[in-house]
Amino acid sequence: MNERKHFTGGKVYLIATGIVLGFVLLLGGKAGVDATSTDKFCDQTCHAHPEATQTWIKSTHFTTKSGVVTHCIDCHLPGSGFTYYTEKARLGAQDIYGKVFKDISKIDWQAKQHLDEARTFTYDSACIRCHANLFSAGLSKKGVDGHLHYQRSKEKMRCINCHLHAGHYRGKQAEEAPEEAEAEERGLDASFPLNPEGFRNYTETIPGSEVKIRMVAIPGGSFLMGSLESEPYRRPDEGPVHRVKLSPFWMERTEASWREYEVYLLERGSRSRTRDNPGANKPDAVTGPTPPYGSPDQGWGRGSRPAITMTHYAATKYCEWLSAITGKKFRLPTEAEWEYAARAGSTSAYFFPGDPARFTRERWLNRWMGVKTAPLGEYAWYLEDSASKTYPAGGTKANPWGLVNMLGNVREFCTDWYDPQAYAHPGDSEVVDPRGPAAGQEHVIRGGSYRSDAAELRCAARDHTRHDEWLLTDPQVPKSVWWYSDCADVGFRVVRESDSGGTAVSSH
């Protein structure tokens, strides 16, 4: 009996000890969580970002109308639950690693402001914790439309789709900085030589304005379109290589700038068009854009920077408008014309000597040893040198035919419908002036952008639009036919057909 009492007393003692230790650990753990959740701790101990605190203090989330200060953890940790602690551990370890082991001066902070990066450290549950009422008094109609769209699309949408920069003030940027204008003049004042056929470069002035479009004469000829199976990072839709013959044409020396596109916006801007009925209520033969839902230039400035965020339909309508007011045939380039112009007589991956395997981040050895940027960086704004934004024309070298930013800066629309099997049956004969498939769902885009890896900048690399995905955030019903709400790295450049040809139609 005594032994039994002793055993029972021992169990009670162990249980009591466990409870006490549990409370101690719980209280200690909570104290640790609280201590590592202050703004001061985040700023001085964890944050590798050099301006996180300053931009937060200048934001509307620091000084609110009610006097409530939004703290770091209020946005950058989930609202509650087990994931609060797992995400706290993940983000804390990530920040400490960056601060201790990385050179923070070489981190591309601009890139981390993009949606695909920001979604890894912001949480809807944190937003809703404070903004429980999405239809508060005084909310604008635009805000109501946006929040209704969010409620209908919660499985796809995030709060930061529309409010990406709400937590950190990014400032207002000038339309165009002086150095941007200087870069444009340095690049665009270069002499335009005659090509061997005597087919002349010229400058087109948009009627009724002082805006000029430099057009480069591209001689007709034959070339091998696509990439060889031996080319590094080649994709299946780039082959087989086949011979194409093209009539001469003119191509815009740079990507179409905001300066050009805004002439069109001012003259043809309108309020009513839908994708299903784009001609509804149109007063004349050429329709015009509705106002954009957000800021189409992303706050980077306009001027000579490439125009972006317009849809393929809008770019096509711009070409129709330019044709109507000049009396010349302007359009988007075909995919074959684009690649022919980009190659400028070369047959390698780029129009200059260089191995994509040396430039790409897709190789772990390159990431470890350091990615090579020369000479690619002399010709292109891309992932390694762009700071994740567009640049005015003139800051990079031209290709051998005098075309600037054929690689990088922004991806460019082509007229062709995209088909991964477009090259599959080229036949033995030379294809003349191909226009691609007769129908499709998405259009071809070429050239890579400021966000692209070097592998995506190869002359033969193909890409395509993603229409529905790029309109996810647009809350309008129907969605805009003119502006993409979720794509900021696609633009275009125009071509002009030669009076002597360039109109033959055939498919790959």
Tens of pLDDT along 62-80?
A: 666 666 777 777 778 787 7
Stronger pLDDT, 384 or 106, i.e. the higher one: 384
Q: Tell whether 125 is covered by a domain.
A: yes
Do 315 and 463 fall within a single domain?
Answer: yes
How many CB atoms are located within 10 Å of the residue 131 CB?
13
CA distance 217 to 196: 10
Q: Which of 95, 130, 161 delimits the end of a domain?
A: 161
Which of 25-39, 177-191, 321-335, 337-351 is the least confident region?
A: 177-191
Q: Tell whether 259 is covered by a domain.
A: yes
Q: Tell whether 190 is covered by a domain.
A: no
Residue 404 sits at φ, ψ, to 5 deg, of: -105, 140
Q: Give me the amino acid identity at 215.
A: M
Q: Could you give the residue ranges of the DSSP H alpha helices within 36-81?
A: 39-41, 52-57, 72-76
Helix (H, G, I), strand (E, B) or coil at 11: helix
Do 237 and 359 fall within a single domain?
Answer: yes
Instruction: Band the pLDDT of 476: cuts 50, 70, 90.
Output: confident
Among candidates 65, 491, 115, which has minimal Cα distance to 312?
Answer: 491
- pLDDT at 398 > cutoff 70: yes
Query: N- to C-terminal Cα distance for the chain?
Result: 96
Q: What pLDDT score does 137 carry?
A: 65
CA distance 302 to 206: 18
- pLDDT at 312 > cutoff 90: yes
Q: Tell whether 23 is covered by a domain.
A: yes
Do 31 and 79 fall within a single domain?
Answer: no
CA distance 474 to 9: 68
Specify the pairing of strand 242-246 against strand 431-432. Answer: parallel
CA distance 292 to 290: 6
Do 8 and 46 fall within a single domain?
Answer: no
Looking up tokens 């009396």 gives 327
Strand partners, 158: none
Q: Tell whether 348 is covered by a domain.
A: yes
Average of pLDDT values for 152-163? 71
CA distance 49 to 105: 9
Length of the chain: 508
As a three-state string, the secondary structure of 120-179 is CCCCHHHHHHHCCCCCCCCCCHHHHHHHHHHHHCCCCCCHHHCCCCCCCCCCCCCCCCHH
Do 28 and 46 fall within a single domain?
Answer: no
* Run of H or E residues at 223: strand 221-225
- pLDDT at 412 > cutoff 60: yes
Which of 258-267, 311-320, 366-375, 458-467 is the least confident region?
A: 366-375
Stronger pLDDT, 403 or 115, i.e. the higher one: 403
Do 43 and 21 fall within a single domain?
Answer: no
- Domain carrying residue 402: 204-497
Among candidates 61, 42, 492, which has minimal Cα distance to 306?
Answer: 492
Q: What pLDDT score does 74 carry?
A: 76
Q: Which residues, 6 or more positions from 454, have their beta carbon under 8 angstroms from its beta carbon?
A: 356, 359, 360, 361, 371, 376, 382, 383, 384
Average of pLDDT values for 82-110? 71
Do 24 and 130 fall within a single domain?
Answer: no
Q: Tell whether 91 is covered by a domain.
A: yes
Do 104 and 69 fall within a single domain?
Answer: yes
Do 441 and 458 fall within a single domain?
Answer: yes
Residue 399 sits at φ, ψ, to 5 deg, of: -80, 175
* Run of H or E residues at 216: strand 212-218
How many domains are contained in the chain?
A: 3
Do 347 and 432 fall within a single domain?
Answer: yes
Q: Tell whether 105 is covered by a domain.
A: yes
Q: What is the pTM for the complete model shown?
A: 0.74
Which of 44-58, 99-113, 278-292 is the least confident region?
A: 278-292
- pLDDT at 450 > cutoff 90: yes
CA distance 483 to 466: 13
What one-character DSSP code corresponds to residue 506? Answer: B
Q: Tell whether 245 is covered by a domain.
A: yes
CA distance 77 to 120: 10
Give the CATH number, domain containing residue 359.
3.90.1580.10
Q: How buried is residue 1: exposed, middle or buried, by Cβ count under 10 Å (0-12/13-18/19+)? A: exposed
Average of pLDDT values for 457-469? 97
As a three-state string, the secondary structure of 395-413 is CCCECCCCCECCCCCCEEE
Do 420 and 376 fall within a single domain?
Answer: yes
Q: What pLDDT score does 93 carry?
A: 75
Among candidates 370, 406, 408, which has minimal Cα distance to 389?
Answer: 408
Do 383 and 258 fall within a single domain?
Answer: yes
